[in-house]
Each structure stands twice: as C-alpha cells, then as structure tokens.
Structure 1
Amino acid sequence: MSTVIELAPGVRAGFTQRGGGVSRDPYTSLNLGGHVGDDAEAVAENRERAARGFGLDPRRVAWMNQVHGSDVAVVADGGHAGDADAVVTTEAGLALAVLVADCLPLLVADPEAGVVGAAHSGRPGTAANIASALVGEMTRHGADPARCTALLGPVICGRCYEVPAELREEVARSAPEAWCDTAEGTPGVDIRAAVAAQLERAGVGAVRHDARCTRESAELFSYRRDSATGRFAGYVWRV
C-alpha cells in the first residue's frame, strides 16, 4: 500500500497496490474489486485492511458501481454510492474510493470549500469527459475550479494502450489529446494526456500526477497485462 499523500491542506489521498491482502491467484493479494470473480469475504477483508492502512474507518468509505458513464453521485455517508463514475462529498472524514486496473483514478479537492471528488476515467469516460462532469458537480457544491488541486493516478500509458485505429479516432473526436501511437507505432489512446487537458479547460488550478503506467508497474493490477486480475483503488478524504 502506498503512503498517505497530502493532496491539499486538510485533504489526504492515496493509492493501494497489490500486496498486503488475502485474495488468492489471480487476484493476489489486495484486490478491492467486488465484480471480478474474487471471493466476497476476501474482498471485504481487503477493503477493511486498505481503509485502516490509510487511517480510515472502513464504514466511512463510499464505493461506486462504476459503469463507464458520465454520471456523478453526491454522498454523505459510506457504503454503496450507486451507479456512477464520479462521486462528490462535502463531509469531513468520508473517503471516496475509485477502482481501477488500467483506467485512470482522478482525485480532486477544493480545501477552502471543503469539497472533494473522485472519478473513474477509462476510455469511454474520458471520451464522455467525466473529469469535467466531476468538476462541474464540485462547483455546484461551492468549489472554485481555480482553487482545486487534482491528482491523476496510475493509468495505462499511451505507449502501452493499443486500440484499433477507428477507436482512436472516435475517442479523439471529443478528447483530441488522447490521440497517440504506441511504442510499436500502432494506434493508441493516451488517457492521461486527455484528462489533464480536460482539467485545464475546466479551469482546475493545479494538476499533479502519479505517473506510473499500470501495465509496466508490477506492484499495480493491470487488466491489459494480466486479463484475470484484481483492482486497486484511489482514495481521497478531508480530515
């Protein structure tokens, strides 16, 4: 598990890794995803371990049912946040979690307004501009994009994310910065570049990066690398 990051004054964040859990192969070992075929009791234990590792109450973590869409949920308590790919809260001590294994976990905070948000930006979500939808919902709850700090977590990099040419064109129509070539010279999608540009256009004042590529980093889960695998999570909360 990674260390706790100070995302902004009074706001903490962190990303889990593969180790320290109880799941067996191919989900070894700190799998936090409940939808990948792993034993439900193992996932529950892993989620508890992950929360406590960050100094959190496991009951005060909100989890989305991520559907690769552009809906944003607003929550005031832990547990199931419903079908959504972004979530926002104004509650102190309530952590927001986003599950990934190649998609991008996006964490955003405006500490002055006391608003934090998290989003799951995979290829469809990036094309749908879930990042802008998240910032918009945070703004409706008092955030100022110029005061916000965003953290883009580990994601499959454009050099590793090969897609058919027509799919690259489809994504680039709404997210031009996603257009790239892979290390092999084949069509690719650069989710990180696209989301960073979307945040800039949304007026977000500061953008930070955990620049690891999931496919290249053995300590992280990667669907593209391993196919059957677990999910790691990004967490953000206000202390």
Structure 2
Amino acid sequence: MTPSRFVRPTIFQSIPGLVAGVSTRHGGLSKIPYSSLNVGVHTNDAPEVIEQNLSLLCADLGISPADLARSYQVHGDKIWVTGRAGYQSGFDAMISVQPGVFAGVGIADCTPILLADPVTRVCAAIHAGWKGTVAQIVYKTAKRMMENRGSNPADILAYIGPCISLGHFEVGDEVASQFDTALKTRKGTKWHVDLKAANAAQLLALGIEQIEIDPACTVENNADFFSHRTEKGVTGRMLALIGFQVA
C-alpha cells in the first residue's frame, strides 16, 4: 500500500468540516535530499516542484493552496490572527477565524500544535521549537483564542504532532536550564528535553484537557518525516495545517 501524504489526528475526526493534520514526506516529486513531498518554500529545492507538491497535498485534502495562511517562521512568539489566506513573515502561530482559511506551519523536528474549537469554528496552527516553547507560544495562542474569540477551554481540542522526541532532543546546559525539571532528563554530560510534554503542560495550564499527543518522532521515523537534525539541515519540510471548510 502506498504511504499516505497526510496524517489525520484521531481527536479531530468527529468534528464536521474540519481539515487537520500533518503531511508526511511521501507521495511528492522532490529528489534527494528533499525526497519526496517537500512543501518548504525556504529550502533549496526547485520552487516549481515545491509548488507541485503542495498542489498534490491540497488536492488530497479537498482544499486549494490559495486558501492557506502561512508565514516565514522565526522561532518567536508572534501570532497572526486572520480571516484571509496569504503569506506573511515573522509569525510562528496562525489563528484562522474564517471557515475556508486554513492555518499552516512548516516543520522538520520542531513541534506542530493544532487547536480547534468546534463551537466558535476558530482554529490555530503553531510552530514550537525549543525557543517558541520557552516563549510559551502555545499558551499565548490558546489564550488569544479564549480572550479574543470567546473560546471555552473545555471546547478546545488539541493535537501535538510528530517532532523530535525526548530520546533524541539532546541539548546543552544553556538550553536545558530554561525548562522545568519534570521536562528534562540528564544523560551523561548532555540533557534531553521533552518538547511534546512541555507544550502539553501549557495547554493543561489553561484548562485544555482534550489533547492527543502523536507518538511519532521525526528522528526515529525519518523515513516518514523530515528531520532537520538527522539530515544535518539539508532536508524538506512538512506542513501542519488546520481549518474549517465553508459550510
């Protein structure tokens, strides 16, 4: 069986009209080292091939690339709240307040977090590397949904997608010191940090308890997902996206 281009989280499957999940590296047209479904526009892959890959992915999902709201990501904590599709710069979280607009973030080891409120039909896609995690971008994005868009934390569903796992995210003292003891472990002279648990803790702190944590690791499962660390910076990007279709 041909591997799928897209992983669909279980937690969202009962929500009518919601398109959400993370692309894999399968089913695209890119050549090594970007093989094969690279949708990262800021890689050195051929731009026309990236565009074709994105079209293939969106066709599978029944949406158009023109309906995506994305940004050049900078490992910060800025949030773009939008009712229109397009491409910006400097944002690591996108909140879509309009059905038909699909928020998306690029990833290749950093943690993708998708949030959906089926009551307000507002959703968010978040890119959280270790810097974004320390800056509490997930907490800030979910809080923005609650304060500005009237979301009840009991209604918000969250998916924490494939990223580098605790076993493989090795960091030095400088990075480790910025994480709580419960989120890191010492192995020899190095620390290992659990980004999935760190971002889940930010959601739980707001009362968001409906959380699915994908067990996949971009390093261990490098055959299915791109890994910036494993492939020494020369690799493609997956797309984590979420949005409500127009009723």
TM range (shorter): over 0.9
Aligned match for 2:42, one of 20, 32, 35: 35
Deviation, structure 1 residue 216? 0.3
Deviation, structure 1 residue 176? 4.8
Computed over aligned residues only, the root mean square deviation of the Cα atoms, in angstroms, reads 1.6
Q: Deviations over 1:158-179 (max 9, x none)?
A: 110111122211x21xx55432
TM-score relative to the length of structure 1: 0.93
The answer to whether the 8 Å contact 1:221/1:232 transfers is yes
Aligned match for 1:141, one of 118, 124, 149: 149
Which moved further from structure 2: 185-194 or 18-27? 185-194
Amino acid at match of 2:224: E
The answer to whether 1:224 aligns with 2:229 is: yes
Distance 1:44 1:78 in 2: 16
Structure-to-structure mapping, 1:103-122, within 5 angstroms: 103-122=110-129
Distance 1:155 1:123 in 2: 11
The unaligned stretches of length 5 or more in structure 1 are: none
1:82 is matched with 89
The answer to whether the 8 Å contact 2:9/2:159 transfers is no
Aligned match for 2:240, one of 228, 231, 234: 234
1:200 is matched with 204
The answer to whether the 8 Å contact 1:177/1:197 transfers is no
The answer to whether the 8 Å contact 2:100/2:243 transfers is yes
Amino acid at match of 1:33: G
Aligned match for 2:6, one of 2, 6, 28: 2
Structure-to-structure mapping, 1:178-189, within 5 angstroms: 178-181=183-186, 186-189=190-193
Residues 132 and 176 (structure 1), Cα distance of their counterparts in 2 relative to 1, 3 Å cut: farther
1:166 is matched with 174
Deviation, structure 1 residue 237? 1.2
Distance 1:155 1:58 in 2: 24
Deviation, structure 1 residue 186? 3.1
Residues 79 and 186 (structure 1), Cα distance of their counterparts in 2 relative to 1, 3 Å cut: same
Distance 1:5 1:156 in 2: 18
Distance 1:30 1:60 in 2: 19
Distance 1:214 1:193 in 2: 16
TM-score relative to the length of structure 2: 0.90
Distance 2:35 2:8 in 1: 22
Q: Deviations over 1:29-71 (max 9, x none)?
A: 1111111211111111111111111111221111111100000
Residues 120 and 221 (structure 1), Cα distance of their counterparts in 2 relative to 1, 3 Å cut: same
Distance 2:102 2:241 in 1: 6
Deviation, structure 1 residue 198? 0.8
Deviation, structure 1 residue 74? 1.0
SS of residue paired to 1:204: coil
Aligned residues: 235
Distance 2:9 2:165 in 1: 22
1:68 is matched with 75
The answer to whether the 8 Å contact 2:7/2:24 transfers is no
Amino acid at match of 2:40: G
Deviation, structure 1 residue 9? 1.7
Amino acid at match of 2:140: A
The unaligned stretches of length 5 or more in structure 2 are: none
Structure-to-structure mapping, 1:43-54, within 5 angstroms: 43-54=50-61
The answer to whether the 8 Å contact 1:76/1:89 transfers is yes
The answer to whether 1:19 aligns with 2:23 is: no
Deviation, structure 1 residue 5? 4.2
Distance 2:173 2:135 in 1: 19
